[in-house]
């Protein structure tokens, strides 16, 4: 692991009073080895350490700063620079704007198409259309439809057409008539770079002339990722890279080498299987992460986005008035789910990530509960006391559960409501007051 290695090599420096040719050389040898181990291309690693060395030696040693800290800063800034320095957004100027996905099979194109559509829809108020151009595997179109249904975005597909150029152009026509301002084209990948696939995507690109051609790559494939990126870039001259599967244990190596070898910006990272597990790529934060500081900034931002303080206050009031209902209950569950896989979040905390890697947290835990609440009428959700036996039976049928499940949920809900009122309401403070007195 790159972070551990760097940390260890910096420790050697920490005891020293100043940066000298000798101790820098020792540390950088370790840094270079660590980079190579993390799949950073040899030439890239060499150039990197040479630059760091020059900077470190040219620096006056400030008495207030330990040489180790100074080295961390130099390496951090240099890493960020190497990954592009600034984050680069999407250029969506066309009407509709067209985004073309490319990459090998299993790299995460379909998942990322959904994540991006969801992000554009919820954060930029766009109205995206997903297009199914992976026409070879029957399950591929179905997979895109499932993803699209989760995020409430339409899909354009043609079941019996294998001509992807025709499908894509028909989709663009449809987007124009239906008012979709972004068209995201999901394509077929192969297990390895292959002439037929390259021809198809190249023809597709030339025909639809996308605003953004994105190359999607599995960050766990290490040095192979770099070679694949080069081959796709030679043929497609893509606009940006999407690094997927960057959850948990980081492979900073791929980010560094790809950026240097193809000189195209990394625009997004995928950090999990959920639709919300997408982040804009920030070189400086990635450098933090590689250095083992943990991506605290991303973590805080993501948590804040999902947790709206106003909403919390509103709920508090409802609870106090005993008006907390099934809509609020459902809202809370959805809020928790939106935070992404709990593991993804926790993995960003330094020191914790590795420890929880193998713990199983069940993502489907809420499914049954949601189904039951969704099968209630709006009136039942706001007035749970009207839920008599016949209503409960209807809900059980509608949600594909049984009456015991429904009864259990309602009982749990009642208890929760009572408890919430006790904890937040005046009763609690009276109790506390009585205890103190
Ligand atoms: P495609 O063949 O390029 O369309 O790849 P898919 O989108 O079907 O993804 C292949 C597999 O990788 C699926 O099981 C996805 O759930 C999974 N996957 C995609 N992106 C991520 C990610 O960022 N993190 C993790 N852990 N899994 C991912
Ligand atoms: Mg796919």
Q: Which residues contact 20 (CB under 8 A, 6 or more apart)?
A: none
222 annotated ligand-binding residue? no
| Region of poorest pLDDT, from 116-120, 194-198, 206-210 | 194-198
Tokens, residue 205: 């690109």
**Residue 336 confidence (pLDDT) above 60:** yes
From ligand 1's centre to the CA of 244, what distance in Å?
Answer: 7
Atom of ligand 1 nearest to the CA of 216: 3
Ligand that lies nearest to the alpha carbon of residue 116, given by its number in the listed order: 1
Rounded to whole angstroms, the Cα distance separating 109 from 241 reads 11
Residue 434: predicted pLDDT: 45
From ligand 2's centre to the CA of 41, what distance in Å?
Answer: 28
**Residue 117 confidence (pLDDT) above 70:** yes
β-pairing, 97-102 vs 128-133, is unpaired
∠ CA(31), CA(33), CA(36), 5° rounding? 110
Task: Tell me the pLDDT band of 426, cut-offs 50, 70 and 90.
Answer: very low
Ligand that lies nearest to the alpha carbon of residue 137, given by its number in the listed order: 2
**Residue 220 confidence (pLDDT) above 70:** yes
From ligand 1's centre to the CA of 245, what distance in Å?
Answer: 7
Residue 151: predicted pLDDT: 96
109 annotated ligand-binding residue? yes
237 annotated ligand-binding residue? no
Atom of ligand 1 nearest to the CA of 104: 3
Mutate to test the pocket of ligand 1, among 104, 108, 150 (most ligand atoms within 8 A of CB): 108
Looking at this predicted complex, what is its ipTM?
A: 0.99
Rounded to whole angstroms, the Cα distance separating 410 from 404 reads 10
The residue ranges of every structural domain in the chain are 2-82, 97-293, 309-436
The response to whether residue 270 sits with its C-beta less than 6 Å from ligand 1 reads: yes
Matching residue, tokens 């080069």: 230
Share of the chain above pLDDT 90, in %: 41
Instruction: Report domain 2-82's class.
Output: mainly alpha
Do residues 67 and 13 touch, judged by C-beta distance below 8 A?
A: yes
Residue 308: predicted pLDDT: 58
Residue range 131-157: mean pLDDT, rounded: 94
**Residue 367 confidence (pLDDT) above 60:** yes
**Residue 70 confidence (pLDDT) above 80:** no
From ligand 2's centre to the CA of 338, what distance in Å?
Answer: 23
Instruction: Report domain 309-436's class.
Output: mainly alpha
Residue range 66-92: mean pLDDT, rounded: 81
Instruction: Report domain 97-293's class.
Output: alpha beta
């Amino acid at each position: 692991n790159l972070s551990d290695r760097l940390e260890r090599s910096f420790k050697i420096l920490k005891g020293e009073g100043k940066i000298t040719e000798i101790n820098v050389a020792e540390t950088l040898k370790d840094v270079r080895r660590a980079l190579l181990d993390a799949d950073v291309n040899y030439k890239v690693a060499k150039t990197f350490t040479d630059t760091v060395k020059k900077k470190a030696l040219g620096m006056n040693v400030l008495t207030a700063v330990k040489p180790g800290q100074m080295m961390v800063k130099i390496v951090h800034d240099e890493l960020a620079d190497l990954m592009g320095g600034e984050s680069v957004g999407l250029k969506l100027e066309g009407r509709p704007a067209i985004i073309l996905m490319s990459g090998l099979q299993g790299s995460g194109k379909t998942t990322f198409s959904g994540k991006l559509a969801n992000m554009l829809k919820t954060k930029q108020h766009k109205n995206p259309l997903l297009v199914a151009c992976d026409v070879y595997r029957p399950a591929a179109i179905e997979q895109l439809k499932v993803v699209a249904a989760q995020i409430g975005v339409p899909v354009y597909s043609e079941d019996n057409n294998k001509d992807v150029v025709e499908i894509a152009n028909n989709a663009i026509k449809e987007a124009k008539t239906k008012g979709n301002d972004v068209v995201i084209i999901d394509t077929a990948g192969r297990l390895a770079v292959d002439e037929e696939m390259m021809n198809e995507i190249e023809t597709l690109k030339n025909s639809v002339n996308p605003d953004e051609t994105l190359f999607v790559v599995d960050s766990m494939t290490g040095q192979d990722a770099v070679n694949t990126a080069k081959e796709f870039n030679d043929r497609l001259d893509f606009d940006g890279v999407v690094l997927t599967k960057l959850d948990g244990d980081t492979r900073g190596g791929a980010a560094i080498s790809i950026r240097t070898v193809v000189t195209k910006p990394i625009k997004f990272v995928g950090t999990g299987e959920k639709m919300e597990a997408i982040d804009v790529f920030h070189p400086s934060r990635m450098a933090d992460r590689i250095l083992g500081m943990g991506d605290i900034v991303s973590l805080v931002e993501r948590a804040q986005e999902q947790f709206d303080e106003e909403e919390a206050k509103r709920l508090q009031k409802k609870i106090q008035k005993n008006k907390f209902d099934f809509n609020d209950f459902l809202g809370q569950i959805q809020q928790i789910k939106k935070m992404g896989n709990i593991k993804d979040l926790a993995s960003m905390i330094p020191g914790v990530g590795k420890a929880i890697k193998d713990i199983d947290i069940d993502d489907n835990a809420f499914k049954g509960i949601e189904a039951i609440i969704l099968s209630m009428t709006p009136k039942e959700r706001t007035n749970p006391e009207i839920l008599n036996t016949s209503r409960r039976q209807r809900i059980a049928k509608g949600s594909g559960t049984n009456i015991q499940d429904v009864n259990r949920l309602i009982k749990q809900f009642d208890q929760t409501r009572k408890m919430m009122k006790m904890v937040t309401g005046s009763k609690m403070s009276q109790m506390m007051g009585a205890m103190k007195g």
